[in-house]
Amino acid sequence: MKQNRRKFIINTGIIGGTILTSGLNTNTFSKNISIIKKNSNMKLTFKPYTLELKHVFTLASSSRTTTPVVLTQIEYEGITGYGEASMPPYLGESQESASKFLSKVNLSQFKDPFELESILEYVDGIDEFNPAAKASVDIALHDLVGKLIGKPWHKIWGFNKDKTPYTSFTIGIDTNEIVKQKVKEAEEYKILKVKLGRENDKEMINTIRSVTDKPIIVDVNQGWKDKFFALDMINWLSEKNVKLVEQPMPKTMVDDMTWLTEKSMLPTFGDEAVQRIPDVIKAYGVYSGINIKLMKCTGLREAHKMLTLTKSLGMQVMLGCMTETSCGISAVSQLAPETQWADLDGNLLIKNDPFIGTKVVDGKITLTKSPGIGLTKI
Amino acid sequence: MKQNRRKFIINTGIIGGTILTSGLNTNTFSKNISIIKKNSNMKLTFKPYTLELKHVFTLASSSRTTTPVVLTQIEYEGITGYGEASMPPYLGESQESASKFLSKVNLSQFKDPFELESILEYVDGIDEFNPAAKASVDIALHDLVGKLIGKPWHKIWGFNKDKTPYTSFTIGIDTNEIVKQKVKEAEEYKILKVKLGRENDKEMINTIRSVTDKPIIVDVNQGWKDKFFALDMINWLSEKNVKLVEQPMPKTMVDDMTWLTEKSMLPTFGDEAVQRIPDVIKAYGVYSGINIKLMKCTGLREAHKMLTLTKSLGMQVMLGCMTETSCGISAVSQLAPETQWADLDGNLLIKNDPFIGTKVVDGKITLTKSPGIGLTKI
């Protein structure tokens, strides 16, 4: 039954969150455009899309070769803004839940897409959770408004596009020989990311160190349950040119995490512990920094606020992502000039990216000058 | 000697922070414009200006009939952005100190006014303090960039211009009869503001209450030194349709203030206690809200961040001002749609406003649709 519904959605193509459906021939399309101009209303449409991964993606608990996403569009006065919800299965959203959420979004009640604050407050209030589905509206709306302004968001926000950081590139857990091979293939990248929290953590780092001295950031994904063990590991890692440790302990172990951050030689970053604005306040004093991801925090508007908040609190910021298209990556990278760390390799891991946008050039996040989120549809 | 220097500055008119001086005849002016276009550099110019007050302005310690300001302009590709530093003498800045500061500002090193973050970080780093002088650069730069974008800042920030609050209007301390007269003259305003912290606080409130039931906000300017007395006063005021209490106790009495906020029937607002971003963090848990003023916080960029930060912390925001022209008022009012309280009557108190901008219509802050900070020079 679920499969049938999904097939139905895919076969009918873009489905209207409001009534408009993009027709399949030019005549219908032109007719719709004229209706849009007359009403000057925003029209949200969306379609499920399946990302095909270049390599099998392995987490502690599962492996997969695809990531389900939903691609959104908001059209207004002949201009189209693009958005995306990326939903790795373990995070609790799906193409079905996102489609259900997006069907409820009625943007025709707003006459002006510039009222981002009111519109996104309304979208956030439609239902609880659904952060990726909400982000897909937020991103499309930002792309639209940026295009209406005629500037990319990093410029509207007053950032200097040359100040972007290098992105890290994840080296997946594998046999020693394959890990060495992967490190060689990642020659372009200046910073490597490694997932730890298993039995063979030290072996993994030593294997990488046998072929390169590049800085490493590690993501423990809550894997260390004992604070003394965690501190020993961090002390050891700090001598191996590791630069930071992401989510070393379970997010619920707040007191132990506070103790660890105080003692740690390396900055600690909250990831699973920090979804949205209230979590930033809770992370103050517990972590040295936070990982901001659009699919966790409902999009660019909240991400920009979290960046301001985090910097005001004297904490560090890393930008993160899921496996996603260049749409999500180009959106979040608009914030990159004001962040120290970027882990934005999500679009590099897929075979069927429908967009061209932010690129990695010599390991550095490189923004385009195109307006909105800086995207071109292939 | 000081008087001579001031006369000199006034007589020579606009003085270049960089080398450009706006000529006094059209030919010179046109020539300068062509130079600007060729270089595409920003040119900062400034001139002292003396605001003439409609009524004598009385504070606990002094009275005055003028307020010294410095008006700034930043020109870029033929577009001019306007800014202002308002410097009531008791706050420690002057036309001399602002002129000295502005003479050090070299914007020609930046090619693009859109790099607000980098430019204003540079300006902030030129010297300590000087918040009003810094604000005069920030405001002119925002006006310029908004004009280059072609939108007012409330729109660029994604705010809904209809959501602005009513402004309060200050009823100065005077004899009972004159106070009653002033209240009648303030008929247009929906909220009155009263300065307390003297012997006759209750008499002042009772006098106003004998002629109107309008909501009142009170500003104690650190006047109450005892927390029990302060709490008694707040309890009494809360029965007189008073809505909030600004800076009830000295800013240094943090523990007593925390106690008072916890017990208070009315929201407490930090004003003297809160200048810039780090003060917002310190105010968390000590006050219910903060008063943001451009001349304290160095301008719109920091004010916008403080707004985000304060709302993220679940605190309330009031926008305040000095006696200033419509330049400063129009700038800060761009933030008004996202604030609950506005005390923006500074331009209503002067006789020689050189600008038209944000207006008060039926007591409500009413933004213009003009780009930048929404200003027209008279």
Predicted confidence pLDDT, tens digits, chain A (378 residues):
333 333 333 333 333 343 233 323 333 333 333 334 444 699 999 999 999 999 887 766 678 899 999 999 999 999 999 999 999 998 999 999 999 999 999 999 998 999 999 999 999 999 999 999 999 999 999 999 999 999 999 999 999 999 999 999 999 888 999 999 999 999 999 999 999 999 999 999 999 999 999 999 999 999 999 999 999 999 999 999 999 999 999 999 999 999 999 999 999 999 999 999 999 999 999 999 999 999 999 999 999 999 999 999 999 999 999 999 999 999 999 999 999 999 999 999 999 999 999 999 999 999 999 999 999 999
Task: Assess B162–A contact: CB distance below 8 Å, yes or no.
Answer: no
A260, A248 Cβ separation under 8 angstroms: yes
Q: What is the ipTM of this complex?
A: 0.87
Task: Assess A149–B contact: CB distance below 8 Å, yes or no.
Answer: yes
Q: What angle do CA B280, B285, B288 make, to 5 degrees?
A: 75
Helices A300-312 and A116-126, interaxial angle, to 10°?
100
Contact assignment for B305 to A305 by CB distance below 8 Å: no
Contact assignment for A151 to B338 by CB distance below 8 Å: no
Nearest to A308 among B115, B278, B308 (CB): B308
B321, B329 Cβ separation under 8 angstroms: yes
Percent of chain B with pLDDT over 90: 85
Can you give the pLDDT at residue A26? Answer: 33
As a whole number of angstroms, the distance between CA B33 and CA B22 comes to 9
Q: Which residues of B touch A155 (CB under 8 A)?
A: 114
> Which of A117, A138, A159, A277 is most worth mutating to test chain B (most B CB atoms within 10 A of its CB)?
A117
Task: Assess A71–B contact: CB distance below 8 Å, yes or no.
Answer: no
Long-range CB contacts for residues B197-202, cutoff 8 Å, separation at least 24: B197/B60, B197/B221, B197/B222, B197/B223, B197/B224, B198/B60, B198/B173, B198/B223, B201/B233, B202/B236
Q: Can you give A134-203 as a three-state secondary structure string?
A: HHHHHHHHHHHHHHHHCCEHHHHCCCCHHHCCEEEEEECCCCHHHHHHHHHHCCCCCEEEEECCCCCHHH
Nearest to A115 among B160, B312, B313 (CB): B160
Closest alpha carbon within chain A to B281: A313
Contact assignment for B277 to A145 by CB distance below 8 Å: no
What digits encode the pLDDT tens for the residues B156-187?
999 999 999 999 999 988 899 999 999 999 99
As a whole number of angstroms, the distance between CA B207 and CA A349 comes to 72
What is the distance in angstroms between the Cα of A309 and the nearest Cα belonging to chain B?
5
What is the bridge-based pairing of β-strands B359-361 and B355-356?
unpaired
As a whole number of angstroms, the distance between CA B136 and CA B101 comes to 11
Q: Which residues of B touch A160 (CB under 8 A)?
A: 115, 117-118
> Which of B154, B160, B369 is most worth mutating to test chain A (most A CB atoms within 10 A of its CB)?
B160
Q: Which residues of B touch A149 (CB under 8 A)?
A: 149-151, 156
Can you give the pLDDT at residue A62? Answer: 73
**What is the pTM for the complete model shown?**
0.89
Q: What does the block give as tokens for B231?
A: 């709490």
Selected residues 310-329 of chain B with any CB under 8 Å from a CB in chain A: 312-313
Helix (H) or strand (E) holding B82: strand B79-86
Nearest to B115 among A116, A158, A301 (CB): A158
Closest alpha carbon within chain A to B162: A115
Nearest to B312 among A159, A160, A309 (CB): A309
- Tally Cβ neighbours within 10 Å of residue A77: 14
Contact assignment for A117 to B155 by CB distance below 8 Å: no
Helix (H) or strand (E) holding B145: helix B131-149
Nearest to A196 by CA among A240, A137, A261: A240
Q: What does the block give as tokens for B31?
A: 């020539």
Nearest to A127 by CA among A100, A153, A96: A100
Can you give the pLDDT at residue A63? Answer: 82
User: B13 pLDDT exceeds 70?
Assistant: no
As a whole number of angstroms, the distance between CA B275 and CA B292 comes to 8
Can you give the pLDDT at residue B174? Answer: 87
Nearest to A160 among B115, B159, B280 (CB): B115
- Tally Cβ neighbours within 10 Å of residue B254: 16
Q: Is B343 exposed, middle or buried (0-12, 13-18, 19+ CB in 10 A)?
A: buried
Q: Is B352 helix (H, G, I), strand (E, B) or coil?
A: coil
Can you give the pLDDT at residue B11? Answer: 33
Can you give the pLDDT at residue A64? Answer: 87
For chain B, the C-alpha Rg in angstroms (whole number) is: 21
> How far, rounded to the nearest angstrom, does the alpha carbon of residue A166 sit from its chain's CA centroid?
16
Higher-pLDDT residue of A56, B326: B326
As a whole number of angstroms, the distance between CA A245 and CA B255 comes to 37
Q: What is the mean pLDDT of residues B98-122?
A: 96
What is the distance in angstroms between the Cα of B55 and the nearest Cα belonging to chain A?
39
Residue found by looking up tokens 């298209």 in the block = A325
Whole-Å CA distances, B299 to A246, B155, B158, B334, B338: 35, 18, 19, 12, 17
Helix (H) or strand (E) holding B255: helix B254-263
Q: Output the CA torsion B103→B108→B114→B115 (10° steps).
A: -80
What is the distance in angstroms between the Cα of A42 and the nearest Cα belonging to chain B?
16
Can you give the pLDDT at residue B40? Answer: 61
| DSSP assignments along B93-137, one per residue | --HHHHHHHHHH--GGG-S-TT-HHHHHHHHHHHSSS-HHHHHHH
What digits encode the pLDDT tens for the residues B76-106?
999 999 999 999 998 999 999 999 999 999 9
Contact assignment for A145 to B158 by CB distance below 8 Å: yes
As a whole number of angstroms, the distance between CA B151 and CA B157 comes to 10
Can you give the pLDDT at residue A38? Answer: 44
A150, A371 Cβ separation under 8 angstroms: yes
Can you give the pLDDT at residue B6? Answer: 34
Closest alpha carbon within chain B to A282: B313
Q: What does the block give as tokens for A15?
A: 């489905």
Nearest to B160 among A118, A160, A301 (CB): A118
- Split at pLDDT 50, 70, 90, the class of B150 is very high
A246, A271 Cβ separation under 8 angstroms: yes
What is the distance in angstroms between the Cα of B25 and the nearest Cα belonging to chain A?
35
Nearest to B149 among A151, A281, A312 (CB): A151
According to DSSP, residue B80 is labeled E
Q: Output the CA torsion A148→A151→A155→A160 (10° steps).
A: 170
Can you give the pLDDT at residue B171? Answer: 93
Residue found by looking up tokens 């008119």 in the block = B13
* Domain ranges (residues) in chain A: 2-150, 155-377
Phi, psi for residue A208 in degrees, rounded to 5: -65, -45
As a whole number of angstroms, the distance between CA B359 and CA A14 comes to 46
CATH architecture for segment(s) A2-150: 2-Layer Sandwich (3.30)
Q: Which residues of A touch B124 (CB under 8 A)?
A: none
Contact assignment for B158 to A308 by CB distance below 8 Å: no
Q: Which residues of A touch B338 (CB under 8 A)?
A: 117
Selected residues 167-206 of chain B with any CB under 8 Å from a CB in chain A: none
- Split at pLDDT 50, 70, 90, the class of B25 is very low
Q: Which CATH superfamily is domain B155-377 in?
A: Enolase-like C-terminal domain (3.20.20.120)
What digits encode the pLDDT tens for the residues B266-324?
999 999 999 999 999 999 999 999 999 999 999 999 999 999 999 999 999 999 999 99
Q: Which residues of A touch B305 (CB under 8 A)?
A: 308, 312
Selected residues 207-266 of chain A with any CB under 8 Å from a CB in chain B: none
Length reported for chain B = 378
Q: What is the mean pLDDT of residues B106-134?
A: 96
Q: Which residues of B touch A151 (CB under 8 A)?
A: 114, 149
